[in-house]
Structure 1
Amino acid sequence: MNPHDTINLDELDKPYFVWFEDNWRHDDILHSHEKGQLVYVESGFQYITVDGKIYLLPQNHAAWIPPGAIHKTNSHSEKIRLMIMFAETDEHSSFHHEINVFSVPAVLKEMIRYSERWSKSMINDPDEILFLKALFNELPRFVEHSLQLHIRLPMDKRLSQPIGYLHSHYQEDIKIEDLSDVSHLSLRTLERIFKKETGMTLSKYQQILRIIKSLELLSAGDLTISETAYAVGYKSLQAFTRSFQSVMQSRPTDFIKTTQ
């Protein structure tokens, strides 16, 4: 079910709107809302494109999508439980006008779960307004250590082939020379436009790709942590754990424990 099929969110006369759904099938067409949007993945994983960047939402993570941001959902796991909340925001709040992806702390998780009592409610309930106002007011504190788990979509068409190659061969030890051969660009040109378009070096981009894929595999639950490490291209569990921790700010074992 998709709220956009039955509800015009921008015409809804409520400051907040809660929509929780099992096995969510969201709109995969670029769109925007006048309200900001909090997307929480309780189980499974979800990819979201916001303003030309692809973000991964693993289990127990959330994204704050600012009002007016052009976005869409991409692929997701087979079984997913999404909790989505829309909110009017203070136009003077700089936080509420920036995208954030973050691990959800226990207190926020319980607040989101409590909010389910108002799921799909069309009436203005004073208790709902009071509670959700407190939730969104505290959101900046919950997001202080937000993850930078995203990949920017390159606009320069010259990167189409090297980026495609990188996404297909991320498990391998790829050097900039390999991408230069694929793209038929000089090393200097490729390095310049790669950094400009993606905002990161090749090694950092490949690291993020590997961690994103590992989270996908860990969410599926078919592989052990060691098997996942080798599947995404790491030569040892120690190297994978170190890389995972630098990106996710937690160990793979912590991730498994907090999301099962």
Structure 2
Amino acid sequence: MIIRFKSSKLENEETVRSFNKDFEKSQLSEEEFTNFKKGVIGSVKEIHLNNAYMFFQDFDNETNEKHTLEIVNDQPVFLLQFVISGNVSFSIEDEASTLYTLNQNKYNLFYIPASKCIYKYINHKKKVLNIFFTETYLIKKMGACFVINSKKYKQSKKENQIYSFFNNGLTINSQLLIIVNEFLNCTFNGITKQSYLESKLTELVLIALATNNLNLITNKIREEDRENLIKTEQYIQANLKEELSIDKLSIMAGFNTSKFKSGFKEIYGLPVFKYITSLRIEKAIQLISNQNYTIAQASYEVGYKNPQHFTVAFKKKMGFLPSQLIK
């Protein structure tokens, strides 16, 4: 996969990035650019994690000239875009009549076929986080139902058209803004940083898309049932230390166990226990890395009575032992 960038404000206007299939990469790579033309101050930061590539634009254009960015991708991609400040509009070059706009404090998920897109930035100051991934990554995180149940997406894909999942975008709430800031301001190094960023990216995708996935879900789940599932998920996040059995959570949601498991996976894209494990591992990483908890203390705080069971679950999910966080 090749993506070409051509910015009207960078001294080195054109940049070419080559990627493996599905943005596959074994190690974290980062790069930052500050070589803007006169009158522009700030930076563009690139981060490439396994299965995802992102760049963060944070700069102030003191001139009256509008900033444009051409992005050419030779294969279809998804773009999860967060506009923290400024406004962005874009269209495929030969279809300028179809314009997509995302205003300040909004985010959206776009399907972009192989094409050349022209992005226009109207405001002087801009902070925009762009996250690229493929359908494989989206299904891995959100479940196949996220795309299967969207007839408009499938039609756009068939016709090689851009598709906007959330119309004019959704509001970046305080929870999402905190996650974005934690992702962009990580102070770890090496494998710890890579693990932290991967877990934060997963959290960001889940919170941004799963919470607002209700518009894409079939009518099998009633509105009242959806609300109960969301409340149950919020309880899970707030009580990771407690025993979270299927029976207990099903009763809380007002479902039988079978209906609860299928409904939860339909909304959050993961089976209940896999979802809980992801949250527990993520919180444990924060406790060990940021608050100097021992492995035993962290495992207890996230609901594991036996530290060995925690270590096995951690190794299976992260690919390395929790002791490496301490080292």
Task: Normalising by structure 2, report the TM-score.
Answer: 0.40
Query: Which protein is bigger by CA-based radius of gyration?
Result: 2
Task: Normalising by structure 1, report the TM-score.
Answer: 0.48
Kindly indicate whether structure 1 or structure 2 has the higher relative contact order, using CA contacts under 8 Å at least 6 residues apart.
Answer: 1
Q: Which has the higher strand share?
A: 2
